[in-house]
Chain A
Amino acid sequence: SQELEQSPQSLIVQEGKNLTINCTSSKTLYGLYWYKQKYGEGLIFLMMLQKGGEEKSHEKITAKLDEKKQQSSLHITASQPSHAGIYLCGAGPGGSYGKLTFGQGTILTVHP
């Protein structure tokens, strides 16, 4: 079965700093999803990556999938307190359908 390992497990940054969260898979990634979760709440979709070398951006968040399709990174530029939460990566079969397997999450705290 596929395992996803996220690093770091938690991250505390000062507002305005850049940060990166990594997601490493035990198998090839065919569909890699990034979600944000506020504690005790639902998962908010951020981005989906499918192709090796693919990069997507939305506002100050950029996600990349490496060429070998075994690792993804999420980069936040000029972090804000609104970026605080739990970031989850999830792996699926691609094409926006099928079971997702999630990493354990990265807890991000942004101090004003």
Chain B
Amino acid sequence: EPEVTQTPSHQVTQMGQEVILRCVPISNHLYFYWYRQILGQKVEFLVSFYNNEISEKSEIFDDQFSVERPDGSNFTLKIRSTKLEDSAMYFCASSGYNYGYTFGSGTRLTVV
């Protein structure tokens, strides 16, 4: 069964630091996403990415966030100048038209 792979599984960072969360989507999927889940809350959409550009983003996805597909396999989420409220589980997902919508196992980000 193809998987979406996320690294690292856990990340602890100091407030104000930059973090990069990494994802390897499923190889034949064309759409890529980042979601987050603050402890005890709903899974929230951050951004979708298609054809090397952002196709949709939520209000949460402000200038502090950026995404990139630096090569043919990786998809990254960069959070600049992290805040305490950025502490959450971040999920990468990928999908293909009628090929399913698969989530990774997540990166738990803790900002201290």
Q: Mark A residues whose CB is within 8 Å of B.
A: 33, 35, 40-45, 48, 88, 90, 92, 95-105
Contacts and interface: CB of A to CB of B under 8 A. Distances in A.
A43 B91 contact: yes
Contact of A100 (B41, B50, B101): B101
Q: How large is the interface on B (under 10, 10 to 19, 20 to 34, 35 or more residues)?
A: 20 to 34
Contact of B101 (A41, A48, A104, A105): A48
B102 A45 contact: yes
Contacts of B11: none
B89 interface: yes
A15 B89 CA distance: 31
A43 B96 contact: no
B11 to A, nearest CB: 14
B43 A102 contact: yes
Contacts of A90: 43
B106 A96 contact: no
Contacts of A103: 42
A9 B105 CA distance: 23
Interface string B26-56: 0000110101000001111100101000001
